[in-house]
Amino acid sequence: MNRKWSNGAFLIICRLAAAISILTLVFLLSVIVFNGIRAINPEFLLTRSRNFGAEGGIFYQIIGSILLVFCTALIGFPLALGTAIFKSEYLKNRYLLKLSSILIYGLNGIPSIIFGIFGLVFFVHYLNTGISWFVGSIILAIMILPTIVLASYQSINSIPKIYRESAQALGLSKWHVVLQVIIPQGIGGAITGLLIGLARAIGETAPIMFIATAFSGVEVPSSLSGPVTALPTHILILSQQATNPLALQNAWGSSLILITIVFIFSISALFSRVRLRLVSQR
């Protein structure tokens, strides 16, 4: 009888914990959605911000964020794909392979603000680039590099050896094997990794707040140098004026837009991963 009772108690505790977790997380989402929706209207999306963001819209912040992650993808993707191919196809030494894994996981574990500080010291001060959105893209690309490398490496490394041997047996050189076999079959994993990485990159504040963004009064940069305004840093500024209800409302609006973009990336990544799994099962 006693065991039966503790079984019931245990199951209730688990359900209770799950209910608390789920309610908390649902609360988070609904707070963002309900508060955000009130702030959003065409004017908010399509005009520039005024009065330190408390009034006006977030048009240039959206453009700036998209510009940042677009260049992040352009820099990070080829670099990561090359690294993954090297690790999988060319690197044979066991110790180097292990070392490369440790380095990649290590890079993945570095807290995001450290990247910001590195960018500040190395680019802004050593290379004297000044505050530059392009430097921000470089730093974000470095930050998401391990995610893309690992995802690409995983999918490239899971291509059975027989595919490589079959292609080689036809007289294809290593580079043709890479181009004909490795890249077509590994690209899905790489893109999944890229999407996951971009979902993270677009929401990051700490890496870019010292090196790439200005708070307001900036439109679209005309060259590689010069700051942009971005959604996460905009939310930071607004939440520091949280006592001003107008600023707070705009912060919720910006948050909803940001989270929507993040979810677009992460949902695409989910689908791309599911599709990949289906393909590989066949």
- Minimum distance from residue 240 beta carbon to another protein (Å): 7
Backbone angles phi, psi at 49, to 5 degrees: -85, 150
Binding to another protein in span 224-253, by CB under 8 A:
232, 235-236, 238-240, 242, 248, 251-252
- Minimum distance from residue 52 beta carbon to another protein (Å): 16
Q: For residue 24, state whether it binds another protein (rule: CB under 8 A).
A: yes
- Minimum distance from residue 276 beta carbon to another protein (Å): 12
If one counts every other C-beta atom within 10 angstroms of the C-beta of residue 53, the result is: 24
- Minimum distance from residue 117 beta carbon to another protein (Å): 6
- Minimum distance from residue 173 beta carbon to another protein (Å): 5
Among 23, 31, 127, 224, the residue binding another protein under the rule CB under 8 A is 31
Backbone angles phi, psi at 50, to 5 degrees: -130, 160
- Minimum distance from residue 63 beta carbon to another protein (Å): 18
| Residue 205, CA distances (Å) to 73, 96, 181, 197, 234 in order | 17, 34, 39, 14, 9
How far apart (Å, rounded) are the C-alpha atoms in residues 197 and 150?
A: 11
Token couple for 193: 């990794």
**Which segment (1-9, 44-52, 55-63, 220-228) binds another protein by CB under 8 A?**
1-9
Asked if residue 204 lies in contact with residue 232, where contact means CB atoms within 8 angstroms, the answer is yes
- Minimum distance from residue 246 beta carbon to another protein (Å): 14
Nearer to another protein, 29 or 220 (CB): 29
What does the DSSP 8-state code read for residue 226?
A: B
Among 10, 30, 130, 219, the residue binding another protein under the rule CB under 8 A is 10
Total number of residues that touch another protein (CB under 8 A): 118
- Minimum distance from residue 220 beta carbon to another protein (Å): 22
**Which segment (37-45, 46-54, 195-203, 218-226) binds another protein by CB under 8 A?**
195-203
Q: For residue 203, state whether it binds another protein (rule: CB under 8 A).
A: yes
Alpha-carbon dihedral 117, 257, 238, 50, rounded to 10 degrees: 110
How far apart (Å, rounded) are the C-alpha atoms in residues 238 and 243?
A: 10
Asked if residue 227 lies in contact with residue 210, where contact means CB atoms within 8 angstroms, the answer is no
Among 62, 73, 149, 228, the residue binding another protein under the rule CB under 8 A is 149
| Residue 6, CA distances (Å) to 3, 10, 171, 277 in order | 5, 6, 68, 40
Contact string 162-181 vs another protein (x = CB under 8 A)? xxxxxxxxxxxxxxx-xxxx
Asked if residue 250 lies in contact with residue 48, where contact means CB atoms within 8 angstroms, the answer is no
Binding to another protein in span 86-145, by CB under 8 A:
86-87, 89-92, 100-115, 117-118, 120-122, 125-126, 142, 145
Token couple for 249: 């409302």
Token couple for 156: 């490239």
Binding to another protein in span 46-65, by CB under 8 A:
none
What does the DSSP 8-state code read for residue 110?
A: S
Q: For residue 276, state whether it binds another protein (rule: CB under 8 A).
A: no
